[in-house]
Amino acid sequence: MLLARRNFLALTVGGLFAAACKPAPNPVPTNSKPKVLATISILADVAERLGAPDLEIVSLIGPDQTAHHRDPTPRELTGFNDISLLLHVGFKLEGWIDRLPESTGYRGPIIQASEGIDPILVEGRIPDPHTWQSFVGLRSYAETIVKVYVKLWPNLATRFKARLVTYLAELEAAEQAAVARLAQVRQGRRLIIVPHNSFRYLGREFGLEFRGISALSTGAQPSAQALAILLDEIKSADAAACFIEAEADKRLMEQIARESGAKLGGKLYTDSLSKPDGPAGTSIKMLAYNLATIAEALAT
Protein backbone atom coordinates (compact mmCIF):
# COMPACT_ATOMS: atom_id res chain seq x y z
CA MET A 1 0.00 0.00 0.00
CA LEU A 2 2.75 2.40 0.98
CA LEU A 3 4.61 1.58 -2.23
CA ALA A 4 1.52 2.33 -4.27
CA ARG A 5 1.23 5.74 -2.62
CA ARG A 6 4.83 6.57 -3.34
CA ASN A 7 4.44 5.54 -6.95
CA PHE A 8 1.47 7.83 -7.25
CA LEU A 9 3.38 10.76 -5.78
CA ALA A 10 6.23 10.23 -8.21
CA LEU A 11 3.99 10.70 -11.23
CA THR A 12 4.56 13.76 -13.39
CA VAL A 13 2.12 15.52 -15.69
CA GLY A 14 3.20 13.22 -18.49
CA GLY A 15 3.02 10.09 -16.38
CA LEU A 16 -0.03 10.92 -14.36
CA PHE A 17 -2.53 9.74 -16.88
CA ALA A 18 -0.84 6.49 -17.71
CA ALA A 19 -2.76 5.34 -14.65
CA ALA A 20 -5.93 7.15 -15.67
CA CYS A 21 -7.77 3.92 -16.40
CA LYS A 22 -7.92 3.26 -12.66
CA PRO A 23 -11.04 4.48 -10.86
CA ALA A 24 -10.84 8.14 -9.84
CA PRO A 25 -9.63 8.16 -6.23
CA ASN A 26 -11.48 11.31 -5.24
CA PRO A 27 -14.76 11.37 -7.14
CA VAL A 28 -16.25 14.81 -7.59
CA PRO A 29 -19.82 15.30 -6.36
CA THR A 30 -22.00 15.94 -9.42
CA ASN A 31 -23.68 18.99 -7.88
CA SER A 32 -20.47 20.99 -7.30
CA LYS A 33 -17.52 22.29 -9.26
CA PRO A 34 -14.28 20.34 -9.10
CA LYS A 35 -12.06 21.89 -6.45
CA VAL A 36 -8.37 22.60 -7.07
CA LEU A 37 -6.08 23.41 -4.17
CA ALA A 38 -2.89 25.42 -4.82
CA THR A 39 -0.32 25.81 -2.09
CA ILE A 40 0.49 29.53 -2.50
CA SER A 41 -1.56 32.52 -3.60
CA ILE A 42 0.50 33.20 -6.75
CA LEU A 43 0.03 29.66 -8.03
CA ALA A 44 -3.66 29.81 -7.09
CA ASP A 45 -4.06 32.93 -9.21
CA VAL A 46 -2.62 31.21 -12.30
CA ALA A 47 -4.84 28.19 -11.64
CA GLU A 48 -7.87 30.44 -11.28
CA ARG A 49 -7.20 32.43 -14.44
CA LEU A 50 -7.12 29.18 -16.39
CA GLY A 51 -9.82 27.24 -14.54
CA ALA A 52 -12.52 29.62 -13.28
CA PRO A 53 -15.46 29.66 -13.43
CA ASP A 54 -15.53 25.96 -14.32
CA LEU A 55 -13.32 24.98 -11.41
CA GLU A 56 -13.18 26.25 -7.83
CA ILE A 57 -9.66 27.26 -6.84
CA VAL A 58 -8.55 27.57 -3.24
CA SER A 59 -5.18 28.66 -1.89
CA LEU A 60 -3.67 27.02 1.14
CA ILE A 61 -1.56 30.08 1.95
CA GLY A 62 -3.36 33.34 1.35
CA PRO A 63 -2.17 36.82 0.32
CA ASP A 64 0.45 38.64 2.39
CA GLN A 65 1.70 35.45 4.04
CA THR A 66 5.10 33.79 3.95
CA ALA A 67 5.44 30.68 1.80
CA HIS A 68 8.36 29.23 3.73
CA HIS A 69 8.38 26.72 6.55
CA ARG A 70 4.64 26.66 6.53
CA ASP A 71 3.10 23.23 7.17
CA PRO A 72 -0.69 22.93 6.84
CA THR A 73 -2.50 23.19 10.16
CA PRO A 74 -4.68 20.25 11.29
CA ARG A 75 -7.74 22.27 10.30
CA GLU A 76 -6.34 22.96 6.83
CA LEU A 77 -5.59 19.28 6.36
CA THR A 78 -9.29 18.53 6.56
CA GLY A 79 -9.67 20.71 3.44
CA PHE A 80 -7.96 18.02 1.37
CA ASN A 81 -10.98 15.74 1.70
CA ASP A 82 -12.92 17.16 -1.22
CA ILE A 83 -10.29 18.36 -3.69
CA SER A 84 -9.75 16.87 -7.15
CA LEU A 85 -6.27 18.24 -7.82
CA LEU A 86 -3.39 19.56 -5.74
CA LEU A 87 -0.95 22.01 -7.33
CA HIS A 88 2.30 22.77 -5.58
CA VAL A 89 5.39 24.76 -6.54
CA GLY A 90 7.98 22.09 -5.85
CA PHE A 91 11.78 22.44 -5.53
CA LYS A 92 11.30 21.64 -1.83
CA LEU A 93 9.16 24.71 -1.07
CA GLU A 94 6.49 22.47 0.42
CA GLY A 95 8.51 20.04 2.51
CA TRP A 96 5.32 18.41 3.80
CA ILE A 97 3.99 17.31 0.42
CA ASP A 98 5.41 13.78 0.51
CA ARG A 99 3.68 13.13 3.83
CA LEU A 100 0.32 14.36 2.59
CA PRO A 101 -1.27 11.05 1.53
CA GLU A 102 -0.41 9.58 4.94
CA SER A 103 -1.70 12.53 6.92
CA THR A 104 -4.87 13.23 4.95
CA GLY A 105 -5.80 10.16 2.93
CA TYR A 106 -5.75 12.32 -0.21
CA ARG A 107 -5.26 10.08 -3.26
CA GLY A 108 -5.76 12.54 -6.12
CA PRO A 109 -3.15 13.93 -8.47
CA ILE A 110 -0.32 16.02 -7.02
CA ILE A 111 1.26 18.21 -9.68
CA GLN A 112 4.48 20.18 -9.40
CA ALA A 113 4.08 23.51 -11.18
CA SER A 114 7.84 24.07 -11.44
CA GLU A 115 8.24 20.90 -13.46
CA GLY A 116 10.09 21.79 -16.65
CA ILE A 117 11.72 24.97 -15.29
CA ASP A 118 15.51 25.01 -15.38
CA PRO A 119 16.34 25.33 -11.67
CA ILE A 120 18.83 27.82 -10.25
CA LEU A 121 20.90 25.98 -7.68
CA VAL A 122 21.68 27.80 -4.44
CA GLU A 123 25.13 26.96 -3.12
CA GLY A 124 25.47 24.76 -6.18
CA ARG A 125 23.03 22.12 -5.01
CA ILE A 126 19.66 23.36 -3.64
CA PRO A 127 17.04 24.28 -6.28
CA ASP A 128 15.72 27.78 -5.59
CA PRO A 129 11.91 27.41 -5.33
CA HIS A 130 11.05 31.04 -6.21
CA THR A 131 10.19 30.18 -9.80
CA TRP A 132 7.04 32.37 -9.69
CA GLN A 133 9.18 35.52 -9.75
CA SER A 134 9.80 35.35 -13.50
CA PHE A 135 7.90 35.44 -16.75
CA VAL A 136 9.43 32.13 -17.77
CA GLY A 137 8.18 30.64 -14.49
CA LEU A 138 4.59 31.87 -14.77
CA ARG A 139 4.43 30.83 -18.43
CA SER A 140 5.61 27.36 -17.49
CA TYR A 141 3.13 27.14 -14.58
CA ALA A 142 0.27 28.05 -16.92
CA GLU A 143 1.23 25.50 -19.56
CA THR A 144 1.68 22.75 -16.99
CA ILE A 145 -1.65 23.54 -15.32
CA VAL A 146 -3.63 23.60 -18.56
CA LYS A 147 -2.11 20.28 -19.60
CA VAL A 148 -3.37 18.76 -16.36
CA TYR A 149 -6.79 20.40 -16.59
CA VAL A 150 -7.28 19.10 -20.13
CA LYS A 151 -6.39 15.58 -19.05
CA LEU A 152 -8.66 15.66 -16.01
CA TRP A 153 -11.62 17.47 -17.61
CA PRO A 154 -11.35 16.94 -21.40
CA ASN A 155 -14.90 18.18 -22.02
CA LEU A 156 -13.68 21.66 -20.97
CA ALA A 157 -10.46 21.57 -23.01
CA THR A 158 -11.47 24.34 -25.44
CA ARG A 159 -12.24 26.72 -22.59
CA PHE A 160 -9.01 25.98 -20.73
CA LYS A 161 -6.94 26.44 -23.89
CA ALA A 162 -8.66 29.73 -24.76
CA ARG A 163 -7.91 31.05 -21.27
CA LEU A 164 -4.28 29.97 -21.65
CA VAL A 165 -3.97 32.02 -24.84
CA THR A 166 -5.40 35.08 -23.07
CA TYR A 167 -3.19 34.63 -19.98
CA LEU A 168 -0.03 34.18 -22.04
CA ALA A 169 -0.85 37.26 -24.12
CA GLU A 170 -1.25 39.37 -20.95
CA LEU A 171 2.00 37.96 -19.60
CA GLU A 172 3.76 38.81 -22.86
CA ALA A 173 2.45 42.38 -22.78
CA ALA A 174 3.64 42.83 -19.17
CA GLU A 175 7.03 41.41 -20.08
CA GLN A 176 7.43 43.77 -23.04
CA ALA A 177 6.53 46.73 -20.82
CA ALA A 178 9.09 45.64 -18.23
CA VAL A 179 11.80 45.19 -20.87
CA ALA A 180 11.09 48.71 -22.18
CA ARG A 181 11.27 50.24 -18.69
CA LEU A 182 14.48 48.49 -17.76
CA ALA A 183 16.06 49.56 -21.05
CA GLN A 184 15.88 53.13 -19.65
CA VAL A 185 17.96 52.13 -16.61
CA ARG A 186 21.73 52.45 -16.64
CA GLN A 187 23.26 49.24 -17.96
CA GLY A 188 26.17 47.42 -16.34
CA ARG A 189 26.14 45.94 -12.85
CA ARG A 190 22.70 46.60 -11.39
CA LEU A 191 22.67 45.50 -7.78
CA ILE A 192 19.48 45.13 -5.77
CA ILE A 193 19.41 44.43 -2.04
CA VAL A 194 16.39 42.58 -0.63
CA PRO A 195 15.61 40.98 2.76
CA HIS A 196 15.59 37.43 1.39
CA ASN A 197 16.51 36.58 -2.15
CA SER A 198 13.34 35.57 -3.95
CA PHE A 199 14.49 37.05 -7.23
CA ARG A 200 17.21 34.88 -8.72
CA TYR A 201 14.94 33.84 -11.62
CA LEU A 202 13.98 37.46 -12.29
CA GLY A 203 17.65 38.38 -12.15
CA ARG A 204 18.47 35.68 -14.68
CA GLU A 205 15.82 36.98 -17.07
CA PHE A 206 16.63 40.67 -16.83
CA GLY A 207 20.34 40.81 -16.07
CA LEU A 208 19.77 42.13 -12.54
CA GLU A 209 21.84 41.05 -9.55
CA PHE A 210 19.88 40.47 -6.36
CA ARG A 211 21.44 40.04 -2.96
CA GLY A 212 19.53 38.80 0.09
CA ILE A 213 20.44 40.17 3.51
CA SER A 214 19.37 36.90 5.11
CA ALA A 215 22.16 35.10 3.24
CA LEU A 216 24.82 37.32 4.85
CA SER A 217 24.25 35.94 8.30
CA THR A 218 22.47 33.12 10.04
CA GLY A 219 21.20 35.62 12.60
CA ALA A 220 18.74 38.47 12.17
CA GLN A 221 21.52 40.95 11.53
CA PRO A 222 24.48 40.60 9.17
CA SER A 223 27.93 40.73 10.72
CA ALA A 224 29.82 44.04 10.58
CA GLN A 225 32.30 42.52 8.14
CA ALA A 226 29.60 41.16 5.80
CA LEU A 227 27.86 44.51 5.90
CA ALA A 228 31.06 46.40 5.08
CA ILE A 229 31.67 44.17 2.04
CA LEU A 230 28.11 44.68 0.87
CA LEU A 231 28.36 48.47 1.22
CA ASP A 232 31.52 48.46 -0.89
CA GLU A 233 29.80 46.37 -3.55
CA ILE A 234 26.83 48.71 -3.68
CA LYS A 235 29.08 51.75 -4.02
CA SER A 236 30.96 50.17 -6.93
CA ALA A 237 27.82 49.03 -8.80
CA ASP A 238 26.60 50.99 -11.81
CA ALA A 239 23.13 51.26 -10.28
CA ALA A 240 21.85 50.04 -6.91
CA ALA A 241 18.69 50.06 -4.85
CA CYS A 242 17.39 48.54 -1.62
CA PHE A 243 13.90 47.18 -0.99
CA ILE A 244 11.85 45.86 1.88
CA GLU A 245 9.23 43.10 1.99
CA ALA A 246 7.48 44.17 5.17
CA GLU A 247 7.66 47.01 7.66
CA ALA A 248 9.83 44.82 9.89
CA ASP A 249 12.67 44.93 7.34
CA LYS A 250 12.83 48.69 7.25
CA ARG A 251 15.50 49.71 9.75
CA LEU A 252 18.37 47.64 8.39
CA MET A 253 17.54 48.57 4.80
CA GLU A 254 17.39 52.24 5.73
CA GLN A 255 20.83 51.91 7.30
CA ILE A 256 22.26 50.16 4.21
CA ALA A 257 20.75 52.75 1.87
CA ARG A 258 22.01 55.63 4.01
CA GLU A 259 25.55 54.29 4.31
CA SER A 260 25.92 53.17 0.67
CA GLY A 261 24.07 55.97 -1.07
CA ALA A 262 21.71 53.46 -2.74
CA LYS A 263 18.12 54.41 -3.30
CA LEU A 264 15.59 52.95 -0.84
CA GLY A 265 12.94 51.82 -3.30
CA GLY A 266 10.01 50.72 -1.15
CA LYS A 267 8.32 47.35 -0.93
CA LEU A 268 8.49 44.36 -3.30
CA TYR A 269 6.09 41.42 -3.25
CA THR A 270 8.07 38.23 -2.92
CA ASP A 271 6.31 35.03 -1.90
CA SER A 272 2.63 35.95 -2.03
CA LEU A 273 0.22 38.33 -3.67
CA SER A 274 -1.14 41.43 -2.03
CA LYS A 275 -4.82 41.57 -1.15
CA PRO A 276 -6.91 41.71 -4.38
CA ASP A 277 -7.21 45.51 -4.26
CA GLY A 278 -3.46 45.98 -3.60
CA PRO A 279 -0.73 46.63 -6.16
CA ALA A 280 0.15 42.95 -6.59
CA GLY A 281 -3.30 41.38 -6.53
CA THR A 282 -2.62 38.92 -9.38
CA SER A 283 0.40 36.96 -10.59
CA ILE A 284 0.93 39.26 -13.60
CA LYS A 285 0.35 42.44 -11.59
CA MET A 286 2.90 41.23 -9.04
CA LEU A 287 5.65 40.86 -11.65
CA ALA A 288 4.70 44.10 -13.37
CA TYR A 289 4.62 46.01 -10.08
CA ASN A 290 7.91 44.58 -8.83
CA LEU A 291 9.73 45.34 -12.08
CA ALA A 292 8.25 48.84 -12.39
CA THR A 293 9.27 49.56 -8.78
CA ILE A 294 12.80 48.25 -9.41
CA ALA A 295 13.17 50.21 -12.67
CA GLU A 296 12.01 53.40 -11.00
CA ALA A 297 14.44 53.04 -8.10
CA LEU A 298 17.40 52.17 -10.33
CA ALA A 299 16.67 55.11 -12.63
CA THR A 300 16.99 57.72 -9.91
CB of 255 to Zn ion, least distance (A): 22
214 Cβ partners below 8 Å, 6+ apart?
Answer: 195, 196, 197
SS3 call for 208: coil
Q: Are the beta carbons of 187 and 209 closer than 8 angstroms?
A: no
CB of 283 to Zn ion, least distance (A): 15
| Cα–Cα distance, 39 to 94 (Å, whole number) | 8
CB of 228 to Zn ion, least distance (A): 26
- Considering just the CA atoms, what is the radius of gyration of the chain in Å? 21
Backbone angles phi and psi of 134, in degrees to 5: -170, 150
Kindly tell me which of 96 and 162 has the beta carbon lying closer to Zn ion.
96
Largest pairwise CA distance in the chain: 64
Kindly tell me which of 153 and 269 has the beta carbon lying closer to Zn ion.
269
Kindly tell me which of 175 and 271 has the beta carbon lying closer to Zn ion.
271
CB of 93 to Zn ion, least distance (A): 8
| Cα–Cα distance, 132 to 61 (Å, whole number) | 15
Residues at the interface with Zn ion (CB under 5 A): 198, 271
CB of 12 to Zn ion, least distance (A): 24
Kindly tell me which of 88 and 163 has the beta carbon lying closer to Zn ion.
88
Kindly tell me which of 91 and 167 has the beta carbon lying closer to Zn ion.
91
